[in-house]
Structure 1
Amino acid sequence: MPFPDIRTKEDLDHKKEDIFKLSSEERFLFVLTLFSRTLPSQIDSNESDGSSAHARDILKVVNNAPSSSVDKVATRSVPASDKVSKVFTQSSLVQEEKTRSIVVAGLPEADSRLGLKEMSSFEWSNIWELLGELGVTCQPAFAYRLGKVRKGLPRLLKIVLPATFFQKTALRNAPLLRKSTKFSKVFIRPSLDAEERKIAFALREQRRHLIKTTGGSYRIYKDCIYDNMNGKKIPLDPKFVPLSDHHKVVNSGVNHTERRRSLIVNAPVQPASGYSDDSVVILSSSSELSCKSLPPPSISTDSTQSLN
């Protein structure tokens, strides 16, 4: 059965009966799930013991649940660690963080000769101002630069937000930056893994090729190109997928066509129909505008910067 959705003390009081119905194993996993979840409505930023007090309330309810219908945790036939390892895997945590993250390209970086305090103040001042123009009304969980410092070029900046809602808000409002006096050269995209970045690069290359050869108007939508003039979706052409690990392909005996095909198969699934404002494309703040009037995205594909 699904776990009760408990985020506040009031939720806990109303759903005690649902907790009592859980087996010992389910209650064990339920408690771990709660500990891994952020409870913003319960934790006061000025009181460091707020979360621990709420945790004690949860444990009290779970420990007082009737045990007549369930076995003791110690007598479980399946070790709890096996189930926990499946639920709380590293990949799931990374994936969850990705859905809350944005990657910013072109945001000025503080001079490394400044002190740590001055650098932090400069960085966060820009972050807060950028989020304000994106309409994101929350405090980021954390933010950090990606890759090695390169003279004259600001590194990519990854910002992890508290919830997916804020990430979608930032991506949806990213085109507004084109009219900004300070951030017109800044581009926003979601956090992507290596395979997704290859697909994203291929889509940009195919879009530029179409604009150059046909003179039409195109935009990137999900995992394909959208023809603004004819209202049609153009699938990704495998020839635009980069072969960055050519030597690995040759040594493994896999031909280039198969390699490209595997990348396309692993691309995000395209919806059957419709276009949602929430599905801002993978790559830049220019995704929902006419491609003809936009400069190429300045996001680097350097492996040292494209970590996330």
Structure 2
Amino acid sequence: MDAEFNRTYITLGGYVGVDKYGYLYFVILLALYLLILCTNLTIIYVICIHRNLHEPMYIFIAALSVNSILFSTTIYPKLFIDVLSQRQIISHSACMFQYFMCYSIGISDFLLLSAMAYDRYVSICKPLQYPTIMGRITVTVLLALAWFIPASQLGATTVINSKQKLCDFTTGGIFCNNKVFKLHCVQSAVLNVYGLFIMLNLIVVPVIFILFTYIKIFLITYHSCIEVKKKAAETCLPHLMVLMCFSCLSIFDIITARLESNIPKSVRSVMTLLIFVYNPLFNPIIYGVKMKGISKHIKGLFRHLMTKNI
């Protein structure tokens, strides 16, 4: 029976102190999840109901918030169950689905940030051509590609990996990330090369494109008037802050997958939780505070709610 159980389920061995602090973890995680939902739904709601925010930049921000909600919903419900359970397990099929959702959504964020960088470049450097270049069709195509390309490329590798034979059934993480592939009996060189191709194609290239685009924007605006410089700073800096934070967390995920045995379990668990918390919560906060078009409407929404309650 145990052998049959092990062939079906994978043990998540990255949890620390669940026996003692399980209920405390549950309360903290639930509060974080509700906060993530509230902040991101607020951003989406404000952008949807205000017509002056129906612009490409704000549509891409709303798409990032949708990704944050989907990413968190893929992770948090399973965390709720695990911290209250005596045995932290997940079926192999559910593990592969969680892997697919997390990484396809995460990579989609890089592509959305690339689309936002292109939008800012056209808006600031080619303002007269902006309405023509960034029309409704262009925005729709960029959104579709940002979601479809990662899903299609990761879908292929997920299906292939799901058919690999497992010789180990315990992973050192608290969710199904790249570490799950270390459980395979044979490490496929072809899959490793394909994984490297995905990383270069969908992460490294978009990051280089974003940095190149913003460098070009700042070089052009350096010789422009104060108003143009102010516009560039207000709209570009929040995107760069999000990119830097998300890139650091992505690098950490890759490092922990490669150097799992060299990093203490408690450190791995805390840093992994930062991936679940920081980006989904950081995005709506930074855009809600730094983007004047959004922050103005959020303040108005809260004033309306407070006045109504009084």
**TM-score normalised to the size of structure 2?**
0.23
**TM-score normalised to the size of structure 1?**
0.24
The structure where helix makes up a greater share of residues is 2
Larger radius of gyration: 1
The structure where strand makes up a greater share of residues is 1
Q: Which has the higher contact order (CA 8 A, sep 6+)?
A: 2
